[in-house]
Amino acid sequence: MSELLQQLINGLALGAIYALIALGYTMVYGVLRFINFAHSDVFMIGAFAGYFLARVVPGGSIGAGIVILIGAMAVCALLGVVIEKLAYRPLRGRSTLTVLITAIGVSLLLQNVGQRIFGANPRSFPSIFPVHQFHFGGIVLSSTQILVFVVTLVLLFLLRYIVLHTRIGTAMRALSFNPTAASLVGINNDRVISFTFALGSALAAAGGILYASNYPSIDPLMGTLPGMKAFVAAVLGGIGNIAGAAVGGLVLGMVETTVVGFGGSTYRDAVAFAVLILILLLRPEGLLGKRTAEKV
């Protein structure tokens, strides 16, 4: 029983991180209808930004940790805006395939520039938040896991507030509903898209720091697998649906830790894809998505 609970906690912590990354995929898909492959590398840059900021800001206390977290989020928000402006904006209105390939190009670029600048060897990520372990009977709950839950919850509610109760959030929803109509009522589509990228990338940075706090080894290629799994989480919850991304992330994290717990650790990376294929075959609109009819 305690082992099951332990797996549940580990799965939730992993799933919360997937959820944070998945939100970025889902929001960009919502406004631009394409899969931003470079998102997983923004996640990597977020972890590295945290690593370098931790050299300037002495870590170890909660306050310093928050400063580092916000700093890394700001760096990545800027990066997301720049990527969108340079690589994706010239392609506005082109076929999805063109944009998809460009996104893959940006992803390769970030990985390889990362390898050039940071070096290809893994680095150990410092503990920027205080580290403790709490024992409840047979269950171990680490402070980084609590941190993951708290940060994810705070960011989720913040995001929910932005999307539902602010002007820019309303504009985002309008844009994802119908871009032409949105611009007709005076929404500056380019600005909203930039904002969406900033928001998504900041969440990816938070995900990167939390991931690195849990698995403290970072390298320029670290984003690929968590990124792909987060994308699966976004599809699982129904792509374009913010609540869906969160649910999908949690479900995927728990499925993965369960499979590893039952001794299938060498197959852990195949699990996510098997889940993806199953969901696309059985319920392609995702757990919380709406089914749309095909129009001619």
> Contact positions toward other proteins, by CB under 8 A?
34-35, 87, 90-91, 94-102, 104-109, 111-113, 115-116, 224, 228, 231-232, 235, 266-267, 269-270, 272-274, 276-277, 280-281, 284, 294, 296
Note whether 56 and 289 are within 8 A (CB): no
Tell me whether residue 10 or residue 229 sits nearer to other proteins (CB atom). 229
Tell me whether residue 131 or residue 274 sits nearer to other proteins (CB atom). 274
Residue 286 backbone class (left: φ over 0; alpha: ψ -120 to 50; beta: rest):
left
* Amino acid letter for position 140: V
Q: How far is the CB of 99 from other proteins (least distance, A)?
A: 8
Residue 74 backbone class (left: φ over 0; alpha: ψ -120 to 50; beta: rest):
alpha
Tell me whether residue 151 or residue 275 sits nearer to other proteins (CB atom). 275
Q: How far is the CB of 34 from other proteins (least distance, A)?
A: 7
Tell me whether residue 146 or residue 280 sits nearer to other proteins (CB atom). 280
Alpha helices in the chain (DSSP H): 2-32, 39-56, 62-83, 96-118, 143-165, 167-177, 179-184, 189-214, 224-237, 242-261, 268-282
Q: How far is the CB of 122 from other proteins (least distance, A)?
A: 17
Tell me whether residue 105 or residue 138 sits nearer to other proteins (CB atom). 105
C-alpha neighbours within 13 Å on the C-beta side of residue 21: 37
**Cα separation values, 81 from 9, 85, 134, 153, 200, Å:** 35, 6, 40, 25, 10
Tell me whether residue 155 or residue 229 sits nearer to other proteins (CB atom). 229
Q: How far is the CB of 273 from other proteins (least distance, A)?
A: 3
Tell me whether residue 184 or residue 294 sits nearer to other proteins (CB atom). 294
CA 200 vs. chain centroid, Å, equals 7
Q: How far is the CB of 294 from other proteins (least distance, A)?
A: 7
Query: In terms of Cα–Cα distance, which of 211, 252, 210, 212 is closest to 231?
Result: 252
Note whether 178 and 167 are within 8 A (CB): no
Q: How far is the CB of 241 from other proteins (least distance, A)?
A: 15
Residue carrying structure tokens 């938040």: 129
Query: 131: which 2 tokens?
Result: 């580290």
Angstrom distance (rounded) from CA 15 to CA 254 = 7
Q: How far is the CB of 208 from other proteins (least distance, A)?
A: 20
